[in-house]
Structure 1
Amino acid sequence: MRSYQTMLNNGETFPIIGMGTYSGENDRETTERAIRTAIKMSYRHFDTAKIYGSEPAVGNALRRAIHDGLVEREDIHVTSKLWSSDHHDPLSALQQTLQRLGMEYIDMYLVHWPVALKPWVDYPIPAEEDFEELDMENTWSGMERCLEMGLCRSIGVSNFSSTKIQDLLDFSCVTPAVNQVEMHPMWRQRKLRAVCMEYGIHVSAYSPLGGPGNAWGTTSVVDHPIIQSIAHKHNATPAQVALRWGLSQGASVIVKSFNARRMKENIGALQLKLDEWDLHDINKMEERKIMRGDWLSNDTTSPYRTVQELWDDEI
């Protein structure tokens, strides 16, 4: 998989295909078994977060795989995220993440959302009274401290619009290495990708298939006639076409499946090549954002009165 990596703005390498580990209804044993299978299939990037509840399973599975000689630690890339209730102290939050993972460091630490919640909010959808004032400058200073202390190799953000990226760069000492956002053939992020490219920030795509199987997801991406037609043309699957499109745009993709057949199918996207006509056809597809984050806006306590403000009208 070494050839399937990109270089970040800080000189660190980053695998261009990763495995998402949001556990949902999956128990720890199921998650661990899926991660071990993924390692045998040459997956090397594992994406987790405090709010996913999968950090203990991810850490245990990776430690066992390293112990058993399946993989070396330096060949594994682990991403986790600062939950919104921990903006006041990213350093302590990362130390707790490392404890749950059983690791000395992680490779990437991301600010999960540009939203601050009260310290006890350990659930994904906050109530109106759960919001705190967002002080992104203080949050990012804490992220930079994590980097200085060697608890992570890179820092970045998630769900940041072009405007929020530019605002962050006004006060940051360290430019984010990554912005992890929703991106797929029906939400192509052209403006955001251009802004991130200007500043050397790598775009990593979550829900690159549109998030089928998730509560917020849709099957319309892989079911779209254009994607289906391109898949038929190349004797590939619609999922492989969608993933290859993301990779062709210079992004990495985070795929979430614990099904061994689909995991193998997804990594097969690395072998697919799309031609200029395929890309032209995909660019004609209608666009629709799936993960809108409506629950993060309100008229009283959130910094964003509307979902349009959350995304700075990039929606």
Structure 2
Amino acid sequence: MPVIGLGTWKAPKGEVKKAVLAALKQGYRHLDCACDYGNEEEVGAAIKEAMEAGVVTRKDLFVTSKLWNTFHAREHVEVAIQKSLKDLGLDYLDLYLIHFPISMKYVPIEELYPPEWLNPTSKKIEFVDVPVSETWAGMEGVCRKGLARNIGVSNFCAQTLMDLLKYAEIKPAVNQIELHPYLTQDSLVAFCQEKGIVLTAFSPLGASSYIELGMDRGEGVGVLNNPVVQAIAREHSRTPAQVCLRWAVQRGYTAIPKSTHESRLQENLHVFDFTLSAEDMVKISRLNRHLRYNDPGEFCKGMGLPNGYPIYA
């Protein structure tokens, strides 16, 4: 699993194919996708074009996708992964993740795809009582069939992982969570590393992906504009984004920054030829303010849940 990958969340239709193709040409080999991003067909088209041009082979790539909340019943897991494989033009995924530990009412692909938070009939979020144990059994099934070479989770806290580890026959390989200098999640990071679960940081640059969605929590100074990060960047003759990614690498996990700009794609990939000092690492980690941008308990308010839905401790 390459340490730096390309995130495709919010990569606009009409732009994502070009961005993925440019990234592959620059040396990216780790692509992070999900069915609810609504762009897996374009990602697949870029992969196909890159392979036909001899830029990459399938063995060069590490492709991740995710199981959406409406496909948590055991019999729906394979339905979901087969659709992602078809859209991506692949025979297998390198990694398949449970996107959220939230089970919602099943909606057939023919009725709504890509899937969404709101049920198309009620226009509300509709939960169902499907335990993680059932969903994980479905995940293990697609892994045993070779449809996914590794399986894991996303947005899982330590308590949910503790429960999963009690009955998992195939241990989760990865936990993909929000990680950046404003949300360091030290205890969860330590727990996953102790259990041998690889961590992948989404939104490793902070609020950048959330500002245009109004999900930045009114934060006045984003991570990339933080004076501490900028000062460290100047000391190393690097950009604030490179400093944040290097901080993640030195903490021991993978990161999937998203960009559709070729210059930034190149910038984000080049973080292995410098090292942050122990003092730099401490200064950046002290910026932690437990600021979670991607919180369903907040952004699901008004979707039939007046008080939101807290899934994080």
Partner of 1:105: 92
> SS state of the match for residue 64, structure 2?
strand
In the alignment, structure 1 segments of 5+ residues that lack a partner are 1-13
- For 2:300 and 2:21, the matched residues in 1 are separated by 39
**Which string of whole-angstrom CA distances, capped at 9 and with x for unpartnered residues, describes residues 31-54 of structure 1?**
111111101111100111010011
AA matched with 1:228: Q
Q: Offset of 1:272 from its aligned partner?
A: 2.6
Mapped contact 1:108–1:154 kept (Cα < 8 A): yes
Query: Do residues 261 (structure 1) and 263 (structure 2) align?
Result: yes
- For 1:23 and 1:193, the matched residues in 2 are separated by 26
Mapped contact 1:240–1:272 kept (Cα < 8 A): no
1:27 to 13, 36, 42: 13
What does 1:220-259 correspond to in 2, within 5 Å? 220-259=222-261
Partner of 1:77: 62
Mapped contact 2:117–2:125 kept (Cα < 8 A): no
Q: CA separation of 1:128/1:41 partners in 2, compared to 1, >3 Å: closer, same or farther?
A: same
Mapped contact 1:51–1:124 kept (Cα < 8 A): no
- For 2:241 and 2:117, the matched residues in 1 are separated by 27
Query: Do residues 65 (structure 1) and 61 (structure 2) align?
Result: no
Partner of 1:6: none
Aligned residues: 295
Q: Offset of 1:213 from its aligned partner?
A: 3.6
2:145 to 125, 149, 158: 149
Deviating beyond 4 angstroms after TM superposition, the runs of 4 or more aligned structure 1 residues are 125-129, 295-298
> SS state of the match for residue 78, structure 1?
strand
**Which string of whole-angstrom CA distances, capped at 9 and with x for unpartnered residues, describes residues 59-118 of structure 1?**
111111111100111011100000001111211111111111111111000000000111
AA matched with 2:241: A
Return the structure number with greater strand share.
1
- For 1:296 and 1:83, the matched residues in 2 are separated by 17
Query: Do residues 166 (structure 1) and 162 (structure 2) align?
Result: yes
Partner of 2:295: 292
Q: Offset of 1:283 from its aligned partner?
A: 2.3
1:123 to 109, 116, 119: 116
Q: Percent identity?
A: 36
2:35 to 25, 36, 50: 50
Superposed CA RMSD: 2.2
AA matched with 2:268: N
- For 1:160 and 1:226, the matched residues in 2 are separated by 30
Partner of 2:171: 175
Partner of 2:77: 90
> SS state of the match for residue 170, structure 2?
coil
Partner of 1:192: 188
What is the TM-score normalised by the length of structure 2?
Answer: 0.88
- For 1:296 and 1:237, the matched residues in 2 are separated by 31
AA matched with 2:239: T
> SS state of the match for residue 147, structure 1?
helix
